[in-house]
A = this chain, B = another copy of it.
């Protein structure tokens, strides 16, 4: 039930790009230096975001990346799904529904669906801009 580094690093990359939104293309070298994450690893992660059309990429000299939309138009849900794949809490919810033969009588499925709904609603309600503006609502919940 953890977000992997792929998801966390992806979010930090996207936030870095959001904080430089409106400027020229931002290179992974710069992001790597600012975020202190190996550039080679960022190279490996960024295709997931690129495929989801969250970015505009430019190769070659002076190349790099830009957000394809304004930071206020990109939700955290989109980013994490792109980076991590499905955020469904159980894999039997992925792809087509009811792929599990027990789905109809499964007493736990409604629980997982309800949990997913909460996760979706929350993460889809927060944008990159919200995080930059520190607008996130949260409590002191830990452990």
Binding site for B on A (CB under 8 A): 1-3, 7-8, 11-12, 15, 76, 80, 84, 86-91, 93-95, 97, 107-108, 110-123, 126, 131-132, 134, 136-143
Residues of chain B contacted by A112 (CB below 8 angstroms): 3
Query: How far in angstroms is the closest Cβ of chain B from A118?
Result: 5
For the complex formed by this chain, how many copies does it contain in all?
Answer: 2
- State the Cβ distance, A25 to closest chain B Cβ, in Å: 22
- Tell which of B84, B110, B140 touches A136, judged by Cβ atoms closer than 8 Å: B110
Given the contacts A8-B108, A111-B136, A123-B115, A143 and B1 also touching, CB distance less than 8 Å: no
- Scoring A3, A15, A137 by chain B CB atoms within 10 A of each residue's CB, the highest score goes to A3
